Amino acid sequence: MAAVAGTEAVPAGQGPVTGEPARRGPAGGRRPRAAAAVRSSAWRWAVLLLAALYFLLPMAASLEFSLRDRDGGYSLESYRAIVDEPGFASALWTSVKLGLITVALTIGLLVPTMTLVHLRFPWLRRVIETITVLPLVIPPVVLVIGVLGAFEGAPNWLIGSPTILAFEYVILAMPFAYRSLDAGIGAIDLRTLVEASRSLGGGWATELFRVVLPNLRGAVLGACVLTLALVLGEFAMASLLLWSTFPTWVVQVAGTQAGVSVAVSVLSLFLTWALLMLLMFLGDRRGRRSTFLGGVPGG
Amino acid sequence: MGETTATADQAPGAVAGDDGRAGARAADEAGGGTGGALAVPAAGAVGIELRELHRAYGRVAALDGLSLTIAPGELVALLGPSGCGKTTALRALAGFERPDSGQILVGGIDITGVPANKRDMGMVFQAYSLFPNLTALGNVAFGLRLRGLAARRRRARAAELLELVGLADRAGQYPHQLSGGQQQRVALARALAIEPRVLLLDEPLSALDAQVRAALRDEIRSLQTRLGITTLFVTHDQEEALSLADRVGVMRAGRLEQIAAPEVVYAWPRTAFVAEFVGTVNRLPGRLDAAGTGSGGGTVEVIGQRLPVLEVGSSDRSLGQDVAVLVRPEAVLLAALDPAGGPEGQRDGAAAAPGVPGRVVQRSFRGAVTRVQVELPGIERAGVAGTGSAELTAAAAPGGPGGAGRSGLVVADVATAQVGDLAVGAQVLVSLADRPVLVTAP
C-alpha cells in the first residue's frame, strides 16, 4: 500500500539521479567504449590462444611421439606393443579396482555427511569445507604416513594389499568431490524436498535414496569422474608405498620402452576424456540444468 | 500491487461465495469415496488442539504459549507479520519443529513426540517442493508408493488427483516444465493423494502472481470444503486469509491476538494491532468521554462527533484522556462542499452530521470503490500509524502530498459511482459513520 502513496514522491526523488547519466551516456561514451571492446576482445583471443597452446602442444607432441616408428616413419606399433608388455593388465586392473573402491567410499561418506550437515548442523559447513581443502595443502608423504598410522593394527589383507591406497585416495579426492557435491546441493532446495518427503511418510532411507541421490545425480556423477580420474593418474602415493598401479607401471615402462609408455599415456588420456563425455551426457540427458562439475576449482 | 485490490474484497460479506466454478467442476468429477457433501467434515475428519506451545530460538520466543483449537473439517488461517510465529506453529504441527513445551493433539491423541513421517499430514510448501527428478504423476504418486500401493493402483489414483486439480494433461511433465501455479497444484494433489487427516498450507500462494493466486485460492477452498479435511493455512496476506478461512487467527509475537470469523476480525478487531494489520485503518485524534465509561464502552469525541467505543477488553486506554480512534476507510463519509462553504452533494444522509472541512489530495480507483485521500487542516495525525496504515505514514511524510506535513490525512472509500464530484483539490465535509469505534493510545 505504500506504493500507492509513494507514486508522487518517487519521480520527484529519482528524476535528477537517473536522468543525467542517461543523457550523458550516448553522446560522450560511445566511441571510446567501442575501441575498448575491440581491444578487450583481442586480448581475450590472445589469452585463449596461449592457453590452448599450453594445453594442446604437449598432447600433440605425445601423440606424435607415440605414433613414431623406429625407422622414422609413423605406425601404430607402440599401441600394439602395449598388450604384450608384462604387467599391463594387472596394473590397470589394480587401478580400476582402486578407483571403484575410492568412488564408493567417497560418495558413501560424503553424501550422507553433507546432507546431514546441510540440514541439521549448518554451522558445521565452514569447518567441513576447511577440512576438505587440507589435502591440497598437506604434502602426500605426510598423508601417507598419517593414514598408515591411523590403520595401525588393521588386518593384513588391508594393509598388506594395494587396497590401503583407496583410503589414501579418498582423502586426496575429498576437495574435488566435496565441491562438486556442494554445488549440487546448493542448486536444489534440499530442506524443502526432504521435508516434503517426510510429510509424505518417508524415512531417512527414502530421503537418501529417493530424494537426495536422484536430485544430486549430476553432482554425484561429477564427483565420481573427478575421483576416478584422480585415482587413475595418481603416482606419488602408490610409488611411496611401493604398490604397482597403472601410473607407476607407466613410469616403469618409460625407462625401457619410451614409445609404449607415451602411447599408454595418450590412450589413458582419451579414455578419461571419453568417460567424462559419457557421464556429462548421462547427467544432461533429461535436459535438466546440470550441476555437473559446477563448483570445481580450475585445474 | 496485489494489495490494490485488497480493500475492495475485504468488505465484510465478500467471503461467502467461495463455491465458484472450480468447486462445481471438482464436484462433478468426484468419482467416489468422498461423498461430495459440501461444508460437512469428512467421516474421518479430526480436530486439532495446540496447547500452550512454547518455542524459543535463543532469546527470541517464536511461540509464546500459543493455544489453538481447530474443529474437524475446519479451515483456520494464521495471519501475521513475518516473525510472529505463524510458520513455527505450522511446522510444530507438521513435526518439523519440536516445541520446548506444550502439547499437540490430533483427534484427541497427543502426537507431540511423533516424528513428522508418522503424522499423516499433507503439506503444501511455499515453492520448489516438487521432486525435480519426477514427473507430475511421479510426484503425486510418491506418497502412495511409500505406502506400498501397487504400481497400477497408485498410477490410477495419482492420475485421478491430477485431474482433480485440473492438470490431467500435464501428468508426464517435469516440474521445471510447469508454471508456478501448476507446480503448486501438483503439490496440492501430492499432499491430498495420501488422504491425510490434516492439510497444512505454508504460504502456498505467496510465490505466484496475483491472478493465479486468486484462482488457486478459490480452488484450494472449494477442494478443502468438499473433502472436509481439517486445514491449517499460514499466510501474511490478509486478503488471502479473510477470503479463504472459516476462522482467521491473527498472531503477534508468538501468541494469538484474536481468532474469529473473517467478518468479525475485520469489523470487530479486539486490539489495535489486529485493526491495523487486517485492512486499512485511519487513526484520528479523539478524547474519551469520562461519562459512560467502565466495561460498558463509553463514548469518544472525534472530529466533532461523539461515537460509541467498541469494547476492547484489556485495552491500554484510561479515561478522559487523548486517544487515537481507529476508523476504517469505508466508515469515513465525504460530502462535497460548494466553494461558498455550504454542503452541496448529500450522501447517505450524512451531511446532517457535524463534520470537519477537508480537501481532497489524491484519488485512486480500485474498482467498485475509489479511495480518496483527504487533508484535514488543523488536525494532526494521532500517533504513528501501524502496519496496516503504512499508506498514511508515507503520505503525511514531509515532501509528500501533504506539503508541510502538518495537516492530518484521512482516507475514505467512496463508491466509485458516487465519487464524481470529489475531484482532487475539492473541498469536502468529512464525517464518520455512526458505529462503534476502536480506540488506542495515541
CB contact under 8 A, B96 and A198: yes
- In DSSP terms, B232 is beta-bridged to B76, B200
Task: Judge if B266 and B286 occupy the same domain.
Answer: no
Which residue in chain B has the smallest CA separation from A216?
B133
Give the phi and the psi of residue B98 in degrees, each rounded to 5. Answer: -100, 125
Which among B270, B288, B303 is the end of a domain?
A: B270
Instruction: Please name the member of B116, B280, B364 whose beta carbon is closest to the beta carbon of A199.
Output: B116
- DSSP codes joined into one string, B162-200: HHHTT-GGGTT--GGGS-HHHHHHHHHHHHHHT--SEEE
Residue after which a domain boundary falls, among B247, B270, B293: B270
The domain that holds B388 is classified in CATH as 2.40.50.100
Q: Do B301 and B287 meet the contact criterion of CB atoms below 8 Å apart?
A: yes
C-alpha cell at B61: 520466543
Which of B143, B373, B390 shows the shortest C-beta gap to A200? B143
**CA B382 → CA A59, B268, B354, B379, distances in Å?**
80, 21, 20, 9
A8, A14, A190, A200: best to mutate for the B interface, most B CBs within 10 A = A200
CA distance, residue A20 to nearest chain B CA (Å): 22
Residues whose CB falls within 8 Å of the CB of residue B421, separated by 6 or more in sequence, listed in order:
B336, B344, B345
Residues B210 and B87 in one domain: yes
Could you give the CA distance from residue B52 to residue B193 in angstroms, rounded to a whole number? 32
> Both B43 and B69 in a single domain?
yes
Which candidate, B105, B284, B72, places its Cα nearest to that of B199? B72
- ipTM over 0.90? The verdict is no
- Return the residue of A nearest to B173 by Cα: A286
Q: Does B121 touch chain A (CB under 8 A)?
A: yes
Pairing of strands B198-202, B230-235: parallel
Domain parsing of chain A, residue ranges: 25-54, 87-284
Q: Which domain holds residue B336?
A: 280-440
C-alpha cell at A205: 532411507
- Tell me, yes or no, whether B63 and B87 share the same domain: yes
Q: Are residues B89 and B40 in the same domain?
A: yes
For chain A, the residues whose C-beta falls within 8 A of a C-beta of chain B are 1-6, 8-9, 12, 188-189, 192-193, 195-203, 206, 210-211, 214-215, 217, 286, 288-289
8 Å CB contact of B116 and A195: yes
Q: Give every CB contact of residue B312 below 8 A, 6+ residues apart in sequence.
A: B270, B271, B438, B439
Do B243 and B95 share a domain, yes or no? yes
Helix residue ranges, H only, B228-343 = 238-244, 262-267, 272-277
Please give the single-letter amino acid code of residue A65. Answer: F
* Three cell numbers written together for B145: 508408493
Residues B310 and B420 in one domain: yes
Cα dist. B297→A15, B319, B321 in Å?
51, 11, 14
Answer yes or no: is B184 within a domain: no
Q: Which three cell numbers stand for residue B316?
A: 491500554
> Strand B230-235's sheet: what is its strand order?
B121-124, B198-202, B230-235, B75-79, B247-252, B255-260
Q: Is residue B141 part of a domain?
A: no
Domain shared by B235 and B307, yes or no: no
DSSP class of A15 = H
Whether A189 and B129 lie within 8 Å, measured CB to CB: yes
Q: Is B182 exposed, middle or buried (0-12, 13-18, 19+ CB in 10 A)?
A: buried
Task: With beta carbons under 8 A apart, name residues in chain B contacting A201.
Answer: 117-118, 120, 143, 146-147, 194
* Chain A residue with the nearest C-alpha to that of B194: A200
Q: Is residue B148 part of a domain?
A: no
Of B146, B187, B371, the CB nearest to A201: B146
Residue tagged 502496519 (cell numbers):
B387
Alpha helices in chain A (DSSP H): 2-6, 9-67, 77-84, 88-119, 125-137, 140-150, 156-159, 164-187, 190-199, 204-206, 213-215, 217-233, 236-240, 246-256, 258-284
User: If you search the block for the grid coordinates 468521554, which residue do you land on?
Assistant: B289
d(CA B401, CA B372): 13
pLDDT at A284: 63
Residues B233 and B304 in one domain: no
Total domains in the fold of chain B? 2
Q: Are A59 and A221 in contact (CB under 8 A)?
A: no
| Contact residues, chain B, for A289 at CB < 8 Å | 176
Q: What are the tens digits of pLDDT across the range A208-255? A: 999 999 999 889 988 998 898 899 888 888 988 888 898 898 888 888
The amino acid at B41: P
CB atoms within 10 A of CB A221: 23
Q: Which of A9, A193, A199 sits opposite B131 (nearest CB)?
A: A193
Q: Give the C-alpha separation, B198 to B107, whole Å.
A: 10
Residue B106, domain member (yes or no): yes
Which residues on B lie below 8 Å from A206 (Cβ)? Answer: 146
Strand partners, A267: none
Q: Is B191 in contact with B119 (CB distance < 8 Å)? A: no
CATH number for the domain that contains residue B16: 3.40.50.300
Q: Which residue of A has its CA nearest to B128?
A: A189
Across all residues in chain A, what is the average pLDDT?
A: 81
Q: How many CA atoms lie within 13 A of B37 on its CB side?
A: 9
In Å, what is the CA distance from B8 to each residue of B148, B239, B329? 48, 10, 11
> Which of A5, A200, A289 is closest, CB to CB, to B394?
A5
- B297 Cα to chain A: minimum distance (Å): 32
Give the C-alpha separation, B345 to B336, whole Å: 5
Q: How far is CA A282 from CA A107, A180, B76, B109, in A?
A: 18, 16, 47, 49
DSSP letter (8 states) at residue A207 = I
In sign, the C-alpha dihedral spanning B139, B145, B146, B149 is positive
Cell of B186: 501438483
Report, in angstroms and rounded to the nearest whole number, the Rg of chain B calculated over CA atoms: 25
The per-residue pLDDT for A3 is: 38
Pairwise CB contact (< 8 Å): B146 & A199 = no
Look at A195 and B122 and tell me if their CB atoms are within 8 Å: no
Residues B332 and B424 in one domain: yes
Report the C-alpha gap between B163 and A91 in whole angstroms. 59
Are B410 and B299 contained in the same domain?
yes
Residue where a domain stops, chosen among B270, B303, B335: B270
Query: For A12, how many CA atoms within 13 A lie in the half-sphere containing its CB?
Result: 8
Q: Which residues of chain A have pLDDT under 50?
A: 1-29, 286-299
Q: Return phi, psi of residue B429, to 5°.
A: -100, 125
pLDDT of residue A271: 81
CB-based contacts of B9: which residues, under 8 Å, 6+ apart? B239, B242, B243
Contacts of A194 in chain B (CB under 8 A): none
B129–A196 CB contact, under 8 Å: yes
Minimal CA separation from B92 to chain A, in Å: 12
| Chain B residue numbers touching A214 (CB-CB < 8 A) | 131, 133
Q: Does B146 contact A at CB distance below 8 Å?
A: yes
Determine the distance in angstroms separating the CA of B109 from the nearest CA of chain A, rounded to an integer. 19
Whole-number pLDDT of residue B78 = 96
What does CATH list as the number for A87-284? 1.10.3720.10
Does B288 share its domain with B371? yes
> A12–B399: do the CB atoms touch at under 8 Å?
yes
| List of chain B residues whose C-beta atoms are within 8 Å of the C-beta of residue A193 | 129, 131
442 residues of chain B, pLDDT tens digit each: 333 333 333 333 333 333 333 333 333 333 333 333 334 555 678 999 999 999 999 888 999 999 999 999 999 999 999 889 999 999 999 999 999 999 999 999 999 999 999 999 999 999 889 999 999 999 999 999 999 999 999 999 999 999 999 999 999 999 999 999 999 999 999 999 999 999 999 999 988 888 888 889 999 999 999 999 999 999 999 989 999 999 999 999 999 999 999 999 998 888 888 988 888 888 888 888 755 444 456 788 888 888 888 755 444 555 567 778 888 898 898 888 865 544 444 444 444 557 888 889 888 888 888 999 898 876 765 444 433 333 343 333 333 333 333 457 888 888 888 887 788 888 888 888 888 888 777 6
Q: Do B394 and A6 touch (CB under 8 A)?
A: yes
